[in-house]
Amino acid sequence: KIRADHEKALEEAKEKLKKSRDEIQAEIQTEKNKVVQELKKKDSKPLPPVPLPNLIGINSGEPSDPDIREKRNKIKEMMKHAWDNYRQYGWGHNELKPIARKGHSTNIFGNSQMGATIVDALDTLYIMGLHDEFREGQEWIDKNLDFSVNSEVSVFEVNIRFIGGLLAAYYLSGQEVFKIKAVQLAGKLLPAFNTPTGIPWAMVNLKSGVGRNWGWASAGSSILAEFGTLHMEFVHLSYLTGDPVYYNKVMHIRKLLQKMDRPNGLYPNYLNPRTGRWGQHHTSVGGLGDSFYEYLLKAWLMSDKMDTEARKMYDDAIEAIEKHLIRKSNGGLTFIGEWKNGHLERKMGHLTCFAGGMFALGADGSRDDKAGHYLQLGAEIAHTCHESYDRTTLKLGPEAFKFDGGVEAVAVRQNEKYYILRPEVIETYWYMWRFTHDPKYRQWGWEATQLNAIDKYCRVSGGFSGVKDVYSSSPTYDDVQQSFFLAETLKYLYLLFSNDDLLPLDNWVFNTEAHPLPVLH
């Protein structure tokens, strides 16, 4: 133990010597601030307990039209197929390999076996009325879900899937166990915020509390879409526990971002948590940036539109995005490109397709009363993303598609042709359906589900799998049933074929993993 301690101290000293004078001073300052905060905390009283918010529309939505009802039932059957196979072959593992019929996991969950699929799926099971399956999941969580594991996990993924999933399950079912587990887990994430700036590390070891960033991220940076996608869950944690610690962490991030200069008004995707400086100037509404913008809007909605600071940040951000990143292709398709070191890359990711729904959701309350404009923009993005599906052989969207050199909404590189059961396009169809009731969104959702696509090409006898090439008529499988397929893709599809009184948007705000959290009126 003594030798290990010495070695650790030596390592730390070596690390320190690598740092610049400024970095070391910033760290000393953070340490000092931490001590002051701790002292203050001892004096301050916890927040008073709060009543549970009004939980409306958790059991309804049965459509009267028999055709729509049948489609909704089909989606429920798909959920049961995904769940039953996970139950049989992957139970307790994070995800399922539907072809090898065994458990699966990725580095975002470290080497833990935390039943990610169970936690992610709970609220979908609940709203679909699959109550026996919900109870099975609850029992597993009660008896087996333990966070004292020596495992390095992604703070962002654990927050959106686990904390979001547990909180939603708690609000829907009222079962205390979910709240208790969510709070225990949140406590394990807090050490990730011990950085010189308070911008959390991307990863944290749940046992030791040691954090670090992804090796691939520009100049040791944390990622905008990761540290900027904690707000909704952390506000709810403070609300439910009366402990302001969670709220303070995310408000500190917001304040820091507000103070920073933004090149062209855009937020770069990389921010160094030691120096508080931007890394590479790369801006994206898809991977690495996406849900940061989503959470600004949703912070405002979740606060019953009282958090006008968040709304202002959202409005400023999307104005800059529209000016610098949104363009029309030669063929008339509106797309959102990516800003990379001073030029626009005319490529859009599947992940970026969520933005159609975001624009529609943010239309009401927009600056200069541009509601019509943003609803229209949402519709145009939905159309472009539908085209990206329609121009493939399998009628499933590729991971990324280009608008360059005669190419329109089509993937060019082989390694961008895969579909991994992602939800973003269906998410946008659902929001557009809620706001317009244009039947084409249900039709497009059905095209992606059964007519041509997911049920036909991704379904295997052991569950659902992603496919490696959506342009090939004999696709090969990636053999992963992602947990977000149950959390998001199937939930948004089910909602698309339900009446609007199921989880009405005046009362519920969906986190970025589609876990509904109530508006705090």
Site string for ligand DMJ, 263-292 (x = CB under 6 A): ----------------------------x-
| Alpha-carbon distances of 300 from 1, 240, 266, 353, 481, rounded to whole Å | 50, 19, 20, 21, 33
Sheet arrangement for strand 203-205: 152-154, 203-205, 211-212
Q: Is 176 a catalytic residue?
A: no
Helix (H, G, I), strand (E, B) or coil at 270: strand
Annotated catalytic residue, options 294, 424, 488, 513? 424
Question: Do 76 and 494 contact (CB within 8 A), yes or no?
Answer: yes
The residue whose Cβ lies closest to ligand DMJ is 512
Residue 424 bears catalytic tag: yes
Q: What is the DSSP string of 341-398?
A: TTEEE-EEEGGGGHHHHHHHHHHTT-GGG-HHHHHHHHHHHHHHHHHHHHTSSSS---
Query: Using CA atoms, how far apart are residues 23 and 11, in angstroms rounded to an integer?
Result: 17
Sheet with 338-340, side-by-side order of all strands: 282-283, 338-340, 343-345
Determine whether 300 is exposed, middle or buried from the number of CB atoms within 10 Å of its CB (0-12, 13-18, 19+): buried
Least spacing, CB of residue 415 vs ligand DMJ, in Å: 17
Owner of token pair 């849900």: 291
Q: How far is the CB of 67 from ligand DMJ (least distance, A)?
A: 29
**Collapsed DSSP state (helix, strand, coil) of residue 275:** coil
Q: Least Å distance between CB 355 and ligand DMJ?
A: 12
Catalytic residue status for 399: yes
**Which of residues 350 and 442 has its CB atom nearest to ligand DMJ in the complex?**
350
Contact 112, 153 (CB under 8 A): yes
Q: Are 517 and 508 in contact (CB under 8 A)?
A: yes
Nearer to ligand DMJ, 26 or 168 (CB): 168
Give me the phi and psi of 82, to 5 degrees please. -65, -45
* Complex with ligand DMJ: residue 356 or 423, whichever CB lies closer: 423
Amino acid making up residue 298: K
> CA–CA separation, 297 vs 63, rounded Å?
30
Residue 31 annotated to the active site? no
Question: Minimum Å distance from CB 290 to ligand DMJ?
Answer: 6
Q: Residue 498 or 512: which CB sits closer to ligand DMJ?
A: 512
What does the per-residue mask of binding to ligand DMJ show for 291-310, with x meaning CB under 6 A?
Answer: x-------------------
* 484 in contact with ligand DMJ (CB under 6 A): yes
Q: How far is the CB of 232 from ligand DMJ (least distance, A)?
A: 12
Among residues 423 and 475, whose Cβ is nearest to ligand DMJ?
Answer: 423
Residues 332-371 that bind ligand DMJ (CB under 6 A): 351
Examine residue 491 and tell whether it contacts ligand DMJ (CB under 6 A): no
Judged by CB under 6 A, the residue of 192, 512, 515, 516 near ligand DMJ is 512
Binding track, positions 58-77, relative to ligand DMJ; x by CB under 6 A: --------------------
3-class DSSP state of 56 = coil
Quickly count: other Cβ atoms within 10 Å of residue 318's Cβ: 24
Count of residues that bind ligand DMJ according to CB under 6 A: 8
Query: If binding is defined by CB under 6 A, does position 465 make contact with ligand DMJ?
Result: no
Residue 195 marked ligand-binding: no
One of 95, 123, 152, 290 is an active-site residue; which one? 290
Of 513, 517, 518, 519, the one binding ligand DMJ (CB under 6 A) is: 513
Binding residue numbers for Ca(2+): 512
* Residue ranges that bind ligand DMJ, judged by CB under 6 A: 291, 351, 422-423, 484, 488, 512-513
